[in-house]
Chains A and B, each alone.
Chain A
Amino acid sequence: MLRTEQLTLRIADRTLCDRLEADFNAGENWVILGANGSGKTTLLHALAGLRQPEAGRVMLDHTPLRDMPSRRRALRLGVLFQDFESAFPATVIETVLTGRHPHLQRWQWESVEDYSVAEAALEATGLAGFAQRPLTTLSGGERRRVEIAALLAQNAPLCLLDEPTNHLDLHHQVRILELLAARAARPGHVNIFVLHDINLAARFGTHGILLFDHGECLHGPMSDVLTRPNLERLYHCRLREIHADGGRWYLPD
């Protein structure tokens, strides 16, 4: 569904990824892992078409992403960004309804159906009853879930999520990832996450991309790439591998 062809990204003279060839297919949950500054967000933005790669290209549905009309792209691809802005007052429901933008014609106002999509997204993210609250009255975690609800309201089959668990408590980290990962089971859906938590990546990811230093990157099924030696090299620290409940868990040593 989404493909990278010889994708090369550089910042200044640092290569973040070198000639990456990856196929993101329906039904898969990808996780991008890497140390701080390794280029996870840059890669995610390039996959979303927000950043021109230094070489190579990104293909969406066999069309180069940069040639795709922006509204058509918006119906196929949604992004959850790492941070958000709020210079002006807005309510929760207004913010979530902005996700419906690509579904509306220029002069069209949100219909009853758009409202019910937005309310369902609030319900799913545990924000039922928050619709009329001003954003300024929300906590960091609630604010994060509003952004996720807006992404759900956009209803794009391909979702790119930059640290969706930021600001979320343990319970919501798991709930939100369960909710998002389950979307990949729908026909034609795929997710690409940036995550910092290896154990959440192992639990919810089917595939992984590891961004090492010097533009080297490794990608493939999670069970192949998520090994202790790889992770120790990735994060430059020693890890303990714990086997429990039939799974592997990693802790910094």
Chain B
Amino acid sequence: MNRRLLIALFLLAAAPLSLWYALSQGSVNIGAAELWRALLGHRDNATAYLVIHELRLPRVLSAFAVGGMLALSGALLQVLLRNPLADPYVLGVSGGAAVAVLLSMLAGLGAGWLQANAFVGALFSMFIVFGLSRAGAAWTQNRLLLTGVVVAAGWGAVISLILSVTPASQIHGMLFWLIGDLSTATQPVAGIIILLTGLAVAWWLARPLNLLMRGENIASILGENPARLRSVVYLLASLLTAMAVTLAGSIGFVGLVIPHILRLVGGSDHRFLLPTSVLLGGGFLTVADTLARSWAAPAQLPVGVLTALLGVPVFLFLLVRAR
């Protein structure tokens, strides 16, 4: 109990630090005092104000929101499917978004259209999977998982098809989107709203989710309605993923591994796991994105590459050390 509280407090302190670090990094050198003044709204240093408010703040907040949404969605899907290997993309939500985005790129639509279509594609895939997995026989987590995996495989084939007929000049942009990239994320507000609302709903369901870990019959006997719980969790996780993918493409690794790192150090109680996933996932992606845009500057790496490069060793280290 105390250990969990310590971890939660640590992450609560680390999250603003990661934001601060991300805001202070970039091609224009801005000192701590200037950064603080610019954040408070002072315009005495016009360059600093502009760089912070127009460039860095939207991107940094987007990174945090996307990381938080992915980690929360991953934690929810893992308990929903009772499968530790589940990640936000396992049920095909990102595949639907990717197909919509690549088609839009192929048609030469602008950035605003890309995001709108990504969201529509993600929701479309989510309803297909939800509808098919409920049709006919009883709704089980394996049926949902199979439906989602097969739909995702279908999207994967369509993505390959699109890539193979796309002119070489457009491939680069498509690959960046598929790997996951925050350079076009300039509108963090919707993401932050969905993240906070999603966390509130998820936290409300945290104790019932603890019961679901022991099985659906137990949850039912202890007074919950597993069927309703599953539907709410599925819709919530899909919506979080859809928003994250819309902002940043399919950034891998965060949604799979952040919840596992927290389970390794603090156990599976969802009242602890869900909020700390948001904090660690958000902070982690914020730092990873900062490194992605500053390591090879002026070139920018897609952040999806860095999340895996940083996360894999950390996770393997924890896994080996865990008893």
B-binding residues in A (CB < 8 A): 45, 48, 50, 70-71, 73-75, 77-79, 81, 84-91, 94-95, 98-99, 101-102, 104, 106, 109, 154
Contacting residues, chain A, for B217 (C-beta < 8 A): 45, 50, 79, 81
Tell me, rounded to whole Å, the shortest Cβ–Cβ distance linking A149 to chain B: 13
Contacting residues, chain B, for A79 (C-beta < 8 A): 217-218, 221
Inter-subunit contact B267/A101 (CB<8 Å): no
- Distance of A94 Cα from B263 Cα, bound (Å): 14
- Distance of A74 Cα from B210 Cα, bound (Å): 16
Q: How many residues of B contact A (CB 8 A)?
A: 26
Tell me, rounded to whole Å, the shortest Cβ–Cβ distance linking A71 to chain B: 4
- Distance of A79 Cα from B135 Cα, bound (Å): 30
- Distance of A87 Cα from B217 Cα, bound (Å): 15
- Distance of A77 Cα from B83 Cα, bound (Å): 29
- Distance of A86 Cα from B210 Cα, bound (Å): 11
Kindly count the residue-residue contacts between A and B in the assembled complex, taking CB atoms under 8 Å apart. Answer: 73
19 contacts between A and B (CB under 8 A): A70-B220, A71-B223, A77-B221, A78-B221, A81-B217, A84-B215, A86-B214, A87-B84, A87-B213, A88-B79, A88-B213, A90-B213, A90-B268, A91-B267, A94-B210, A94-B267, A102-B222, A102-B223, A154-B222
- Distance of A79 Cα from B218 Cα, bound (Å): 8
Inter-subunit contact B222/A88 (CB<8 Å): no
Q: Is the interface of A mostly helix, strand, loop or mixed?
A: mixed
Residue from B207, B214, B267, B271 in contact with A89 in the complex, judged by beta carbons closer than 8 Å: B267
Contacting residues, chain A, for B79 (C-beta < 8 A): 88
Inter-subunit contact A74/B268 (CB<8 Å): no
Contacting residues, chain B, for A45 (C-beta < 8 A): 217
Contact residues of B between 70 and 114, Cβ < 8 Å to A: 78-79, 82-84
Tell me, rounded to whole Å, the shortest Cβ–Cβ distance linking B215 to chain A: 5
- Distance of A86 Cα from B218 Cα, bound (Å): 12
- Distance of A224 Cα from B259 Cα, bound (Å): 57
- Distance of A190 Cα from B213 Cα, bound (Å): 28
- Distance of A48 Cα from B269 Cα, bound (Å): 27
Inter-subunit contact B269/A88 (CB<8 Å): no
Contacting residues, chain B, for A71 (C-beta < 8 A): 223
Closest chain A residue, CB of each to CB of B210: A98
Contacting residues, chain A, for B269 (C-beta < 8 A): 94
